[in-house]
Amino acid sequence: MAKSKAAAALPQSAVAVDLVVLTVRGGELCVLTVRRGIPPYQGKFALPGGFVMPDEDLEAAAYRELEEEAGLKKRAVTLEQLRTFGAPGRDPRGRVVSVAHLAMGAGLPDPRGGSDALSAQFEPVSEYLSRRAGPLALAFDHKAILAAGVERARAKLEYTGLGVAFCPPEFTVGELRAVYEAVWDVTLDPANFHRKVTNASGFLVPTGGRTSRGGGRPAALYRADPLVPLHPPIMRA
């Protein structure tokens, strides 16, 4: 009886996970969204996510939702916790606290809608961040979650090797520069960028290979650890 009374006294709230899944496509930073198939906001675009089950931890819930709603596998992305969103009234169904996660990957396949998602797609981040209303306006507080995820990615490119998470395992400096330009939404001087990334201690490791896949003269191939700290950092202008 005492246990039952204690359980009944717990606040009536739910925990959810929402995911900001970023990739670079066609030279633009893109985000994964789903079109909701159930209320609330049925038919509206939203970030993938859902409620955490009683027997799973947050990371497991994030990976489960990623596969259920978009068909993306755990190995396709790097994942980290972003921040918690818990404003009262953020969900019309009741008190819901969301632990947002940031996921990034290179060459992610076209997603497929599943579970309670009618469709899933990658679209340019700018399409969603620039809209407060209209057909592309995001449901819930997902515009704020997206903005936080994009800023986290932009900031981490300054002081970690996170940019290589958007690159193939072996990449050229030109391909890495294209990632920085897409994530930061800027145009970078090629020679200056090359100097900065090759001078960052312990960042780029030459593979000894070369490629012509970008056109022009064969370029050197590198690999790198996305978690390595950059010294000196590569700062946005």
pLDDT block averages, 10 residues each, the chain of length 237: 58 93 96 94 95 96 93 92 96 96 94 85 93 82 97 96 95 97 97 96 95 89 93 89
What is the CB neighbour count within 10 angstroms for residue 158? 15
* pLDDT for res 130: 85
Of 84, 185, 86, nearest in space to 127 by CA: 185
- CA dist list (Å): 175 to 27, 136, 159, 221: 10, 30, 19, 10
* pLDDT for res 152: 97
Q: At what angle do helices 142-159 and 173-184 cross, to 10 degrees?
A: 140
* pLDDT for res 135: 74
Structural domains of the chain, ranges and CATH numbers in brackets: 13-156 (3.90.79.10), 160-223 (1.10.10.10)
* pTM beyond 0.85: yes
* pLDDT for res 1: 47
Cα–Cα dist 11/97, whole Å? 12
* pLDDT for res 5: 58
In contact, 102 and 49? CB cutoff 8 Å: no
* pLDDT for res 14: 95
Q: Per residue, what are the HEC states of the chain?
A: CHHHHHHHCCCCCEEEEEEEEEEEECCEEEEEEEEECCCCCCCCEECCEEECCCCCCHHHHHHHHHHHHHCCCHHHCEEEEEEEECCCCCCCCCCEEEEEEEEECCCCCCCCCCCCEEEEEEEEHHHHHCCCCCCCCECCCHHHHHHHHHHHHHHHHHHECHHHHHCCCCECHHHHHHHHHHHHCCCCCHHHHHHHHHHCCCCCEEEEEEECCCCCCCEEEEECCCCCECCCCCCCC
* pLDDT for res 2: 52
